[in-house]
């Protein structure tokens, strides 16, 4: 299997996961009887979600696998994976279900990690109890280890067992291994029954998990043409009432085995059968979708499932700009890590550039959408490694837009079940570009544009639409929150039955923008699973504590993150007021809660701080009076120097290896005193 084949298999598996989540989400927790009574038979998506909100089943694989970004080796330990969990999750909200310590498995394990109880003890049955350790989360987040195993089931087992042990134990770990190994085998096999049988040989044969699977298979073999009979047996013998906890792993595993055996290797049949069976539908369908996607490839997945998603993937980590992405781009994150695990180099022609949008994967539209109407009728189609804009019918002087969402407000996503929060992926001061090919010689003008949340439009001067061209334009510096970027088109005459290509697009991440917290809105994200109302500072993610804005500015008791995690900060100025007992940290190179550098202001002292596992600090300078009012950081990445300028004019240089880093920014407060941040100005550059 070469890299192209592996990448496309991984994409199909990850797409299958998203399809399963979206199909199962509307009836999560329903019984089969309730689904039949309300919907009858399932033929396709039950709810038109539009832009689908973040979901725990996708959050887990996407961010748990990022532990390999720092230690890309099969020798990575469970303790490192646990630290990665602390790094990417917000404290007590978002990402997954926070049902309470002793009730929600992941919540309990997270609290253990916070207390310094390292994995695998953090998820152990000895500490948390067997019932909690064997809930379903052990397997619903484990798809990623099958993706990166690149067809090697033993590698999938090793990685999944470690990660599952961070939060789970016993059958919870067995389930994680089963899912990961099944996906790894699916890269090489083409029969679901064979995959299941082979995957079970990698598990503990004495475990309740294996015994359950074997008993289900025996029932299926006794009734090969009667799936309803076996399903009724599962409901009777292995219903939720037979197992402790909120959502035990074993009942849901039983119906996964049932669907994989009776589905006849058909994606539609297997997925709709499993959806109709009920219980934890988004979880079971997500795992089975991964297995079938890896086995069948894109050819086995009808476009009716993938088209409504528009290649958009939203998440709810503590880094807001990482929460807006695409299914195709994130699939390549898994593929690149999997290839690196084998000590192989990704071919340069297929290596992903974080600042470029390409369309090399089938069905990958890069998240672009089109505003069609009766006077501008067009469609987007991925074809020949490019994005085809199929023009059915457009009228003269009518404006058309092909756009990419770079920020989401609450009313633009379906709900906030897993509490997503976003930071823009494009900022004022950055340069956007597109390469266009116009083989049918559409007659008209084109221009790049950026649209802000508050309705402000920034647009390039119109230029004639020629046969081949590269458009490039810089968004003016401002305090705007950029909600979308795109291409505007005006036709000179009526055009029908034509097309043009967007070959590539991208951003030069050299932002220059301001955040005026005295004018920054609070966003209403509705209620979470616990019926708690949640508000968030626009373009920021609250990691812990409280944050709100008013005419004075940002009132912060805790930590917020913002900025482009794929940029690289070069200068940051923060204006603030704080009481002497308050401690303010202005952090940069933020790659999560466990990974940042920053300046910590404690009364009249300014310290340089660096957090990886613990927190290290060095005194930079001491002022005669408490530092207050304004502080500026100038970062010379070429020479590894930081210059700090305070209101009093104090300054110091500190040498630190900061040639590379993350682009995120965070503000943190500690202590009993209050702190108000009025605003900040940021300048970034792309990685060199």
pLDDT in tens, 36-83: 999 999 999 999 999 998 999 999 999 999 999 999 999 999 999 999
pLDDT score at 256: 98
Asked if 557 and 545 count as a contact pair (C-beta separation under 8 A), the reply is: yes
Residue entry with tokens 């470690």: 162
60-64, 212-216, 370-374, 666-670, range with the lowest pLDDT: 370-374
CB 539, CB 407: distance < 8 Å = yes
pLDDT of residue 3: 97
Residue 687 has pLDDT above 70, yes or no: no
For all residues of the chain together, what is the average pLDDT? Answer: 94
Q: Which residues of 440-466 are buried (b: 16+ CB within 10 A; e: fewer)?
A: eebbbebbbbbbbbeeeebebeeeebe
List all residues 6 or more positions away from 348 whose beta carbon is below 8 Å from its beta carbon. Answer: none
pLDDT in tens, 457-483: 999 999 999 999 999 999 999 999 999
Block residue for tokens 């994995």: 119
In the structure, what pLDDT confidence band is assigned to residue 657 with cuts at 50, 70 and 90?
A: low
Paired tokens of 295: 């086995």
Quick one: pLDDT at residue 533? 84
- The Cα 443–Cα 492 span in angstroms is 6
pLDDT, position 372? 86
pLDDT at 651: 79
Tokens of 581: 């007992």
Residue 369: name the closest of 381, 383, 353 by CA: 381
- H or E, element range at 608: strand 605-611
Q: Average the pLDDT over 102-124 and give the result.
A: 97
CA proximity to 388, closest of 433, 434, 436, 355: 436
Q: How deeply is 431 buried, as exposed, middle or buried, from its count of CB atoms within 10 A (0-12, 13-18, 19+)?
A: middle
Q: Is the pLDDT of residue 650 over 90?
A: no
Of 338-352, 411-425, 515-529, highest mean pLDDT: 338-352
In 3D space, the residue among 195, 229, 240 whose CA is nearest the CA of residue 213 turns out to be: 195
Is the pLDDT at 647 greater than 80? The verdict is no
Contact 547, 560 (CB under 8 A): yes
What is the separation of C-alpha 147 from the centre of its chain, rounded to a whole number of angstroms? Answer: 16
Report which secondary-structure segment, H or E, holds 683. strand 675-685
Question: What is the tens place of the pLDDT at every residue in 288-321?
Answer: 999 999 999 999 999 999 999 999 999 999 999 9
pTM (2 d.p.): 0.96
Q: Is the pLDDT of residue 688 over 80?
A: no
C-alpha angle 209-213-217 in degrees, rounded to nearest 5:
170
- Report the pLDDT averaged over residues 146-158: 98
Please give the pLDDT value at position 157: 98
- Answer whether 603's CB lies under 8 Å from 626's CB: yes
Q: Which helix (H) or strand (E) holds 107?
A: helix 105-114
Half-sphere exposure of 637 (CA within 13 A, CB side): 18
Q: How far apart (Å, rounded) are the C-alpha atoms in residues 512 and 480? A: 11
**pLDDT > 70 fraction of the chain, expressed in percent and rounded:** 98
Return the higher-pLDDT residue of 615 and 516.
516
279-283, 372-376, 565-569: least confidently modelled range: 565-569
The whole-number average pLDDT for the span 2-15 is 98
3-state secondary structure 229-262: HHHHHHHHHCCHHHCCCCCEHHHHHHHHHHHHHH
Confidence of residue 427 (pLDDT cuts 50, 70, 90): very high
d(CA 362, CA 364): 5
- Given this model, what pLDDT does residue 74 score? 95
Please state, in angstroms and rounded to a whole number, the distance separating the CA atoms of residues 20 and 624: 61
Predicted pLDDT at 686 = 58
pLDDT band at 245 (very low <50, low <70, confident <90, very high): very high
Q: Is the pLDDT at 660 greater than 60, yes or no? A: no
Q: Indicate the pLDDT class of residue 658, thresholds 50, 70 and 90.
A: low
Distance CA 386, CA 364 (A): 9
């Amino acid at each position: 299997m070469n890299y192209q084949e592996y990448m496309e298999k991984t994409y199909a598996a990850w797409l299958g996961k998203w399809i399963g989540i979206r199909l199962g989400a509307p009836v999560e927790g329903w019984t089969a009887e309730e689904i039949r009574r309300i919907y009858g038979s399932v033929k396709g998506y039950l709810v038109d979600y539009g832009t689908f909100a973040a979901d725990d089943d996708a959050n887990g694989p996407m961010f748990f696998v990022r532990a390999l970004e720092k230690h890309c080796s099969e020798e990575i330990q469970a303790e490192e994976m646990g630290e990665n969990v602390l790094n990417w999750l917000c404290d007590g909200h978002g990402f997954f279900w926070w049902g309470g310590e002793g009730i929600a498995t992941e919540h309990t394990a997270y609290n253990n990690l916070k207390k310094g109880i390292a994995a695998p003890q953090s998820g152990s049955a000895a500490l948390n109890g067997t019932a909690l350790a064997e809930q379903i989360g052990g397997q619903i987040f484990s798809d990623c280890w099958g993706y990166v195993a690149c067809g090697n089931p033993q590698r999938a087992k090793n990685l999944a067992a470690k990660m599952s042990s961070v939060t789970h134990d016993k059958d919870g770990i067995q389930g994680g291994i089963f899912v990961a190994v099944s996906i790894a085998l699916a890269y090489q096999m083409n029969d679901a029954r064979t995959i299941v049988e082979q995957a079970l040989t990698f598990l503990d044969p004495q475990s309740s998990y294996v015994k359950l699977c074997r008993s289900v298979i025996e029932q299926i073999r006794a009734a090969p043409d009667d799936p309803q009979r076996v399903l009724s047996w599962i409901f009777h013998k292995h219903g939720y009432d037979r197992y402790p906890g909120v959502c035990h792993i074993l009942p849901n595993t039983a119906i996964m085995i049932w669907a994989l055996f009776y589905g006849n290797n058909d994606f539609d049949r297997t997925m709709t059968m499993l959806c109709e069976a009920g219980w934890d539908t988004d979880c079971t369908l997500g795992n089975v979708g991964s297995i079938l996607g890896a086995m069948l490839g894109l050819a086995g997945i009808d476009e009716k499932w993938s088209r409504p998603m528009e290649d958009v993937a939203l998440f709810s980590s503590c880094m807001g700009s990482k929460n807006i992405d695409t299914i195709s781009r994130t699939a390549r994150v898994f593929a690149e890590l999997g290839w690196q695990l084998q000590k192989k180099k990704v071919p340069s022609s297929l290596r992903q550039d974080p600042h470029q949008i390409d369309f090399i994967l089938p069905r990958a539209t890069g998240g672009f959408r089109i505003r069609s109407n009766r006077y501008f009728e067009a469609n987007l189609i991925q074809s020949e490694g490019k994005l085809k804009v199929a023009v059915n019918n457009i009228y003269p002087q009518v404006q058309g837009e092909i756009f990419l969402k770079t920020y989401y407000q609450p009313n633009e996503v379906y709900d906030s079940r897993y509490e997503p929060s976003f930071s823009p992926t494009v900022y004022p001061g950055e340069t956007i570009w597109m390469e266009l090919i116009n083989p049918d010689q559409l007659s008209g003008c084109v221009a790049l544009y950026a649209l802000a949340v508050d309705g402000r439009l920034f647009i390039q001067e119109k230029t004639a639409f020629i046969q081949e061209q590269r458009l490039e334009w810089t968004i003016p510096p401002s305090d705007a929150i950029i909600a979308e970027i795109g291409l505007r088109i005006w036709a000179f005459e009526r055009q029908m039955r034509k097309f043009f290509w967007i070959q590539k697009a991208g951003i030069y991440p050299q932002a220059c923008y301001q955040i005026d917290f005295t004018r920054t809105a609070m966003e209403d994200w509705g209620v979470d699973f616990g019926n708690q109302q949640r508000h968030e500072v626009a373009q920021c993610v609250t990691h812990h504590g409280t944050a709100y804005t008013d005419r004075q500015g940002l009132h912060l008791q805790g930590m917020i993150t913002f900025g482009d995690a794929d940029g690289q900060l070069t200068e940051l100025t923060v204006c603030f007021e704080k009481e002497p007992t308050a401690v303010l940290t202005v952090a940069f190179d933020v790659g999560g809660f466990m990974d940042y550098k920053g300046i910590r202001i404690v009364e009249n002292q300014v310290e340089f701080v660096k957090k990886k596992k613990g927190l290290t600090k060095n005194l930079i300078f001491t002022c005669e009076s408490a530092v207050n009012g304004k502080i500026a950081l100038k970062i010379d990445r070429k020479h590894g120097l930081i210059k700090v300028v305070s209101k009093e004019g104090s300054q110091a240089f500190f040498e630190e290896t900061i040639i590379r880093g993350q682009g995120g920014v965070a503000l943190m407060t500690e202590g009993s005193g209050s702190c108000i941040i009025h605003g900040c100005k940021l300048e970034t550059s792309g990685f060199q």
